Amino acid sequence: MNREKYCAAKVHRWWWMMPCLMAWALAGSANAQIVSPPASSRDIERKVSRLLARMTLAEKLGQLQQLCGAWDGDSLPEDFDLARQAALGSMIFIRGAKRTAELQRVAVNESRLKIPILFAFDVIHGYRTIFPVPLGEAASWDPSGAEEAASIAANEASSGGVRWTFAPMVDIARDPRWGRIVEGSGEDPFLGMAMAVARVRGFQGTNYGRPDKVVACAKHWVAYGAAEGGRDYNTAEVSERTLREIYFPPFKAALDAGVGTFMSAFNDLDGIPCSANSFTLSRVLRGEWHFDGVVVSDYNAVKELIAHGVAADGKEAAALSLTAGVDMDRFSRLYSEHAGQLIKEGKLRLATIDEAVRRVLRLKYRLGLFEHPFADEALESATLLSVKNLAAARELATRSFVLLKNDHGILPISRQIKSIAVIGPLADDSQSMIGPWSGDGRKEDAVSLRAGLRAKLPADTKINFARGCDVNGNSSEGFGEAENAARQSDFVILAVGESADMSGEASSRSSLDLPGRQLELIQAIHATGKPYAVVLMNGRPLSINWVASNSPAILETWFAGTQGGNAIADTLFGDANPAGKLPVTFPRSVDQVPIYYNHKNTGRPPGSDPKSASQYIDLPSTPLYPFGYGLSYTQFKLSRLQLSNVQIRPNRSVTVGVEVENIGDRTGDEVVQLYIHDLAASVTRPVKELKGFQRVSLHPGESRHVEFTLGLRELGFYDRTLHFAVEPGRFKVMVGASSEDGLESSFEIVEK
């Protein structure tokens, strides 16, 4: 790299630190917080007002428009004219320092007011270095790891000129048929909140005005994950109570963590599509939560109001979205086309447009885009896929794996083996390894399981590879070759599951079984009598009953990212000890859906009376693997559950302490989980609610005291009047290594 260029890049990235360094020096303390934005908010508001006063209506509407470049990251020829006319408030898909600069140059040099374009992209679980899919990251129960992944992703994306990510997706998903369950943190609001906060912090840092940060977007507001039948984009019927208790909390947590933007969802919510929903957008988001950032519609969601049947045409759709509170229209161009006429006809207030433009400009000032509109190519190439980023991706992938079964400690595999078979349609699939929504990730950068094993094992250990069958095909022609590979090997690793395109957007499934002939492939290998382990790769829970009953070991690896193959090899051979826990229930069959751990009891709970309980007569009520479940190569023991009080007042908190000990012979992590049950309240309460968790690392024989605090936030709920309150009464407390086992105690909240 050219030295001068490199230094220039360094200087470019240092400007933001100057006020912070000065503040730090003045404060004279190493603990002084580095939070000062490049300009104070009053300064920004002044600049926004000045700029707004000079803008024509067309220029204002240009700021409220987000258009798309080509999927591969290039601008389209028309984009340059639009940039010149100041018609591109924001662009998505255009990425890379060179390509963003080409278009940006036109906006900042040739448009009348020189307002920079804000480049956006779906940086979901990495930009170029890909981390585990978000569901996998959630399985780590390690928010700090998710924060680090988001921070690296922000660094890489911003080096390519992208300053806005459409993540985190914080939708709660209770239906594994829904393909986008892979993009979120699973079924639980508490875990979802922790992950939402971590990702927002990672993407934005304490100040997204830093050039190595991006502004995050909490999506999809709201209840998109409650799609009926799990079919993507489908209608959601959700009561206000369930919205407030289950679907809203991760959004509120993201907001409290300072998220800069929200995305209005595609779906209809109780008759009003979310991109025209003034209850969710105006009353809750702006009114109750005082959100002052930008709301962008999902892709073409403004125009889709016509298909939903709430707008007769584009003009009405634009009016509905704008008045409900959607500031920026993605893709449909309906604001630009119709807002002028709507104002003339008195159907839209200019003040509504001004307020939306104000929010967009405020965001651009906060990002520091006016001062630093360009990314730097030299810095970009030093950042992408750096050694440090790849090491983090490998480490975080190992933390996301969930050991579902390990009979007789068959895993980790002994290093003494001389030959190993790696079999299955996903064993050498580096495209699936990076999963859906993989940013600018490339399969040629990704390490497949086969490649990871080769790199791990000595050169004289023979690897016998066979695909066996396709993920989703009908042929069993490859079975013979696979059986031979197994017979010639000391141990077999079977990589099966879903290909990456079977989950994600528009990829809902009606079955949760292993697709194609994969189960038969496993059965054929099982019949050889060779020791084997099943490595699952998938973006949703799978109903793997036969495997769970018959296969000796199962390692759930989700889609593990660029370093996936190395991370799986580390884990299979014991260089890493799995400690992930399921962030979502694994059903026995799709027919049990919806099945989630924090359900209500009903008046006739399963098991109460076999003849008249709330259950199926032809299926157990229990899941295959419960929420929070996961094993380790070592064993842990929980003991001495202690509560600070047996009685507290409603405005007080109780401390729950427990001892966790590693009683096995390997270092490992345990995720200690705290659940509560409010036994009698003014409204029915879930049988269990996660209210605390900690992932602790322990050497053999080591023990640790873990403590949780239960206060207003954890003990309160929405009462009959939808008022958040703590009510007197008895609470059961459960502390365990999953949602289904553990120690129990109780305490009581008493009237003042």
Q: What are phi and psi of 727, to 5 degrees?
A: -110, 150
User: In the complex, what is the shortest distance from the CB of residue 304 to ligand BGC, in angstroms, rounded to a whole number?
Assistant: 11
User: In the complex, what is the shortest distance from the CB of residue 152 to ligand BGC, in angstroms, rounded to a whole number?
Assistant: 20
Going along 667-740, which residue ranges are E strands? 668-678, 689-698, 703-710, 717-718, 724-725, 729-738
Instruction: Tell me which residue of 494, 557, 488, 569 sits closest to 525, measured CA to CA.
Output: 494
Distance (Å) of CA 233 to CA 229, 298, 443: 10, 11, 28
User: In the complex, what is the shortest distance from the CB of residue 330 to ligand BGC, in angstroms, rounded to a whole number?
Assistant: 7
Nearer to ligand BGC, 92 or 514 (CB): 92
Q: What are phi and psi of 554, to 5 degrees?
A: -135, 125
Catalytic option among 122, 268, 298, 678: 298
Nearer to ligand BGC, 219 or 691 (CB): 219
Instruction: Tell me which residue of 573, 577, 535 sits closest to 458, measured CA to CA.
Output: 573
User: In the complex, what is the shortest distance from the CB of residue 278 to ligand BGC, in angstroms, rounded to a whole number?
Assistant: 21
The count of other CB atoms within 10 Å of the CB of residue 745 is: 15
Strand order in the sheet with 217-221: 217-221, 261-264, 294-297
Residue 178 interacts with ligand BGC (CB under 6 A): yes or no:
no
Among 122, 376, 498, 570, binds ligand BGC (CB under 6 A): 122
Number of residues that bind ligand BGC (CB under 6 A): 7
- Specify whether 298 is catalytic: yes
Nearer to ligand BGC, 38 or 134 (CB): 134
User: In the complex, what is the shortest distance from the CB of residue 124 to ligand BGC, in angstroms, rounded to a whole number?
Assistant: 8
Residue 315 interacts with ligand BGC (CB under 6 A): yes or no:
no
Asked whether the beta carbons of 447 and 455 are under 8 A apart, the reply is: yes
Locus of tokens 């927002």:
200
DSSP 411: -
Residue 166 interacts with ligand BGC (CB under 6 A): yes or no:
yes
* Beta-sheet pairing, 90-92 with 65-68: parallel
| Residues written for the chain | 752
Residues from 219 through 238 that contact ligand BGC (CB under 6 A):
219
Among 212, 354, 501, 505, binds ligand BGC (CB under 6 A): 505
Residue, CB closest to ligand BGC = 166
Opening angle at CA 335, ends 330 and 340, nearest 5: 165
Nearer to ligand BGC, 219 or 362 (CB): 219
> How far apart (Å, rounded) are the C-alpha atoms in residues 182 and 337?
36
Task: Name residue 94's amino acid.
Answer: I
User: In the complex, what is the shortest distance from the CB of residue 265 to ligand BGC, in angstroms, rounded to a whole number?
Assistant: 8
> How far apart (Å, rounded) are the C-alpha atoms in residues 254 and 264?
15
Nearer to ligand BGC, 299 or 597 (CB): 299
User: In the complex, what is the shortest distance from the CB of residue 360 to ligand BGC, in angstroms, rounded to a whole number?
Assistant: 17
Asked whether the beta carbons of 397 and 575 are under 8 A apart, the reply is: no
* Residue 317: both structure tokens together: 């759709």
The count of other CB atoms within 10 Å of the CB of residue 616 is: 12
Among 141, 190, 299, 693, binds ligand BGC (CB under 6 A): 299
Q: What are phi and psi of 196, to 5 degrees?
A: -60, -45
Nearer to ligand BGC, 268 or 678 (CB): 268
Nearer to ligand BGC, 436 or 692 (CB): 436
Catalytic residues: 298
Binding site for ligand BGC (CB under 6 A): 92, 122, 166, 219, 298-299, 505
